[in-house]
């Protein structure tokens, strides 16, 4: 559970985060979306107590992070995969973090195994690819087996196989009842992982919604050589908005099944009959404009 | 707290530069003990009979001027490397009590510089004596009053200088910047004492961290300068003030 209330942050005259209020519930993946520079990372840093807000507050499990006795057991964060000492081995990197929260060697080996880095754990993290560093960062976040996960752009730098792997892992972690907040500037990527979406632009909350609500059906696309005739028929049968252009029609107010039946009854040939969905990217750009 | 210390201890020993820096502390001590020993022997050979009669042998701790740079670097690294590699955010999310992070780093840095400094102090004294003896220059008796303090003191002094380095590293965050401050504070300011007006030179000899601290290692009993305990107290005060400043800044600053 993460609660953000009236959170604001300025850098000089620039307002990075502006009166942001939302909460992130357990058992679901919450996507934190916004264009670059929208204040996503700053918000996550304030939730983690790294940066101090000018106004408002952020609570994790009802407390400030600094008030949690062994914070790694409550919250795991991946903010910056490049944050490793280049001359320290992956295992030592995790070991140093584990010691600070009384976590044992066995747990270090478990998370290394979980992210698939066991074979390279003895190697210096400085030589890792961005994808391997993302896996190491995720291992660090998971060390304390925390109920809350905060992941900033975890997909960055992963190859297609890695992307599928991390998607599956994130969904599994949420299904286990954890609170998962995942930021991204890519709508398409987030839509396939997240249940809920929190969309920010220029530091402000612009939408707190779900993927389904954002991608709701938007009319039926019909292609036919008799567009005008079919349009007249459909209007008399309850279509609210028919807009013929050449051999194409976009029909609102009737489903695909009804449009097909009416066309058959009238003997109109159809080349195409498709439910149209609003493009998530378009919806995202509309929201964040 | 103990967990934070264990984490810092592990961080310290899982990078090779820790070994290099600790080795540099000891090697610099031995090297400059040889150089200063020969310089002192040459000087002694040129003395007039009257000067020789007035010559009062005492341990030569000038090598520590150079050793303290390595010690300061050892201290400042504990913070600057974390800022350089951006691991500070990880450290502060896993140990969000920032005072605890500072204290843990201070314990590890203080402990290791105390140990390395104590070893280096003994090496400096005995290498220097060996060089002087080999060139026929008299050395003071080990049983002389105050020698126990002089032999045990360098570890303490260098640990305090290490903690000052740690605080400077925390305040400045950049290795280069903090190292420049360490060298200017530790070497340039005292080395140029002869250029200053007398009141300023006296002020620096009495109240500057390294020069006041070196009073702990002196046998001259100069009534115009602080005694061993007073000199040590001055250096302790510097370390305490800088660590307090580091604590305030670390708590308030965005990580």
Q: Does any CB of chain B come closer than 8 Å to the CB of residue A72?
A: yes
**Tell me, what's the pLDDT at B91?**
95
Report CB contact under 8 Å: A50, B255. Answer: yes
Report CB contact under 8 Å: A80, B89. Answer: yes
Shortest Cα distance, chain A CAs vs residue B147, angstroms: 41
**Tell me, what's the pLDDT at A210?**
87
**Tell me, what's the pLDDT at B193?**
81
Closest chain B CA to residue A64: B96
The CATH number for A2-214, chosen from 3.40.50.300, 3.50.50.60, 1.10.3720.10, 3.40.50.620, is 3.40.50.300
Report CB contact under 8 Å: A52, B254. Answer: yes
Q: Is the four-CA dihedral B211, B215, B218, B220 of positive or negative sign?
A: positive
* pLDDT higher than threshold 90 for residue A236: no
Q: Does any CB of chain A come closer than 8 Å to the CB of residue B250?
A: no
Report CB contact under 8 Å: B89, A71. Answer: no
- For the purposes of burial, counting CB atoms within 10 Å of the CB of B226, is it exposed (0-12), middle (13-18) or buried (19 or more)? buried
Residue B76: in which H helix or E strand, if any?
helix B63-84
Q: Does any CB of chain B come closer than 8 Å to the CB of residue A59?
A: no
Report CB contact under 8 Å: A50, B254. Answer: yes
* pLDDT higher than threshold 90 for residue B25: yes
- Nearest of A40, A76, A80, A41 to residue A60 by alpha carbon: A76
Extract the tokens encoding B91. Answer: 């450290």
User: Closest to B94 (Cβ–Cβ): which among A51, A71, A89?
Assistant: A71
Report CB contact under 8 Å: B93, A85. Answer: no
Pairing of strands A28-33, A179-184: parallel
Give the other-Cβ count within 10 Å of B114's Cβ.
19
Which residues on A lie below 8 Å from B95 (Cβ)?
71, 100
Closest chain A CA to residue B81: A85
The CATH number for A216-288, chosen from 3.90.79.10, 3.30.70.980, 3.30.200.20, 3.30.450.40, is 3.30.70.980
* pLDDT higher than threshold 90 for residue A167: yes
User: Closest to B3 (Cβ–Cβ): which among A45, A95, A102?
Assistant: A102
Per DSSP, the residues of B18-63 read: HHHHHHHHHHHHHHHHHHHHHHHHHHHHT--HHHHHH-------TH
Q: Among B88, B90, B92, B251, pick the best mutation site for testing chain A contact (most A Cβ within 10 A).
A: B90
Q: Which of A111-125, A270-284, B212-226 has the lowest mean pLDDT?
A: A270-284
Q: Does any CB of chain A come closer than 8 Å to the CB of residue B2?
A: no
* pLDDT higher than threshold 90 for residue B209: yes
A30: β partners = A181, A196
Domain ranges, ordered by start, for chain A: 2-214, 216-288
Q: Does any CB of chain B come closer than 8 Å to the CB of residue A82?
A: yes
**Tell me, what's the pLDDT at B135?**
92
- Percent of chain A residues topping a pLDDT of 70: 98
Per DSSP, the residues of A88-107 read: SBHHHHHHHHHHHTT--HHH
Residue A14: in which H helix or E strand, if any?
strand A14-24
Q: Does any CB of chain B come closer than 8 Å to the CB of residue A140?
A: yes
Closest chain A CA to residue B104: A100
Q: Are A2 and A20 in contact (CB under 8 A)?
A: no
Q: Does any CB of chain B come closer than 8 Å to the CB of residue A52?
A: yes
Q: Is the four-CA dihedral B86, B90, B96, B99 of positive or negative sign?
A: negative
- Percent of chain A residues topping a pLDDT of 90: 58
- Nearest of B66, B69, B229, B24 to residue B164 by alpha carbon: B69
Shortest Cα distance, chain B CAs vs residue A6, angstroms: 19
Provide the 8-state DSSP code for B153. H
Report CB contact under 8 Å: B90, A66. Answer: no
Q: Are B113 and B164 in contact (CB under 8 A)?
A: no
Interfacial B residues in 19-78 facing A (CB < 8 Å):
none
In terms of pLDDT, which residue wins out, A213 or B181? B181
Please tell me the total number of residues recorded for chain A in this structure.
289
**Tell me, what's the pLDDT at A242?**
78
Q: Does any CB of chain B come closer than 8 Å to the CB of residue A63?
A: no
Q: Does any CB of chain B come closer than 8 Å to the CB of residue A83?
A: yes
The CA–CA distances, whole Å, from B81 to A28, B6, B84, B172 equal: 37, 18, 5, 12
User: Closest to A83 (Cβ–Cβ): which among B10, B16, B87?
Assistant: B87
Q: Are B95 and B1 in contact (CB under 8 A)?
A: no
Pairing of strands A196-201, A28-33: parallel
- Percent of chain B residues topping a pLDDT of 90: 78
Q: Are B120 and B27 in contact (CB under 8 A)?
A: no
Residues B72-92, mean pLDDT to the nearest whole number: 96
Q: Among B93, B101, B252, pick the best mutation site for testing chain A contact (most A Cβ within 10 A).
A: B93
pTM confidence score: 0.88
Q: Are A195 and A219 in contact (CB under 8 A)?
A: no
Q: Note the pLDDT tens digit of each residue in B136-154.
A: 898 898 888 889 999 999 9
User: Closest to B95 (Cβ–Cβ): which among A85, A89, A100?
Assistant: A100
* pLDDT higher than threshold 90 for residue B194: no
Shortest Cα distance, chain A CAs vs residue B77, angstroms: 12
d(CA A169, CA A268): 49
* pLDDT higher than threshold 90 for residue A241: no
Residues with Cβ within 8 Å of A47's Cβ and at least 6 positions away in sequence, in order, are A2, A4, A58, A60, A65, A150, A181
- Nearest of B179, B161, B158, B2 to residue B77 by alpha carbon: B179
Closest chain A CA to residue B96: A66
Q: Are B132 and B40 in contact (CB under 8 A)?
A: yes
Residues A8-14, mean pLDDT to the nearest whole number: 91
- Nearest of B72, B70, B61, B163 to residue B111 by alpha carbon: B163
Please list, residue by residue across A188-208, b when 16 or more beta carbons sit within 10 angstroms of its beta carbon and e when fewer do: ebbbebbbbbbbbbebbbbbe
């Amino acid at each position: 559970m993460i609660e953000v209330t009236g959170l604001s942050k300025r850098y000089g005259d620039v307002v990075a985060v502006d009166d942001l209020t939302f909460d992130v519930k357990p058992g679901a993946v919450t996507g934190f979306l916004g264009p670059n520079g929208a204040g996503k990372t700053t918000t996550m840093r304030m939730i983690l107590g790294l940066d101090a807000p000018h106004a408002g507050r952020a609570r994790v499990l009802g407390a400030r992070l600094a008030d949690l006795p062994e914070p790694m057991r409550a919250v795991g964060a991946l903010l910056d995969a490049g944050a490793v000492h280049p001359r320290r081995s992956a295992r030592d990197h995790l070991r140093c973090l584990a010691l600070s929260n009384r976590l044992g060697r066995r747990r270090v080996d478990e998370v290394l195994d979980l992210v698939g880095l066991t074979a390279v754990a003895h190697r210096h993290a400085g030589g890792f690819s961005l994808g391997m560093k993302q896996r190491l960062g995720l291992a660090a976040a998971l060390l304390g087996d925390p109920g809350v996960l905060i992941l900033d752009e975890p997909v960055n730098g992963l190859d297609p196989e890695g992307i599928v792997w991390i998607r599956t892992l994130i969904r599994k972690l949420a299904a286990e009842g954890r609170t998962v907040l995942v930021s991204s500037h890519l709508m398409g990527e987030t839509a396939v992982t997240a249940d809920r979406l929190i969309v920010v632009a220029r530091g402000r909350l612009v939408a707190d919604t779900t993927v389904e609500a954002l991608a709701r059906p938007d009319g039926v696309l019909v292609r036919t050589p008799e567009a005008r005739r079919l349009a007249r028929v459909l209007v008399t049968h309850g279509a609210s908005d028919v807009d013929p252009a050449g051999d194409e029609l976009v029909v609102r107010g009737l489903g695909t099944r009804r449009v097909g039946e009416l066309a058959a009854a009238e003997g109109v040939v159809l080349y195409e009959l498709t439910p149209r969905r609003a493009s998530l990217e378009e919806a995202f750009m509309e929201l964040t404009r | 707290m103990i967990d934070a210390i264990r984490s810092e201890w592990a961080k310290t020993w899982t990078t090779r530069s820790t070994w290099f820096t600790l080795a540099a502390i000891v090697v610099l001590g031995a090297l400059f003990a040889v150089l200063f020993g020969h310089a002192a022997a040459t000087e002694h050979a040129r003395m007039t009979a009257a000067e020789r009669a007035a010559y009062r042998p005492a341990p030569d701790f000038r090598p520590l001027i150079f050793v303290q740079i390595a010690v300061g670097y050892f201290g400042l690294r504990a913070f600057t490397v974390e800022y350089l590699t951006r691991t500070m955010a990880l450290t502060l999310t896993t140990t969000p009590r920032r005072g605890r992070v500072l204290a843990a780093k201070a314990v590890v840095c203080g402990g290791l510089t105390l140990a390395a400094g104590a070893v280096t102090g003994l090496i400096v004294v005995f290498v220097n004596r060996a060089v002087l003896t080999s060139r026929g220059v008299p050395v003071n008796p080990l049983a002389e009053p105050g020698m126990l303090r002089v032999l045990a003191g360098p570890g303490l002094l260098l640990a305090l200088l290490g903690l000052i380095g740690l605080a400077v590293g925390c305040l400045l965050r950049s290795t280069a910047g903090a190292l420049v401050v360490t060298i200017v504070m530790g070497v340039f300011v005292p080395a140029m004492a002869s250029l200053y007006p007398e009141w300023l030179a006296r002020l620096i000899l009495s109240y500057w961290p390294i020069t006041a601290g070196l009073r702990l290692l002196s046998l001259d009993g100069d009534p115009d300068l602080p005694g061993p305990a007073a000199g040590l107290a001055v250096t302790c005060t510097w370390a305490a003030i800088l660590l307090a400043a580091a604590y305030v800044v670390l708590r308030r600053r965005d990580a």
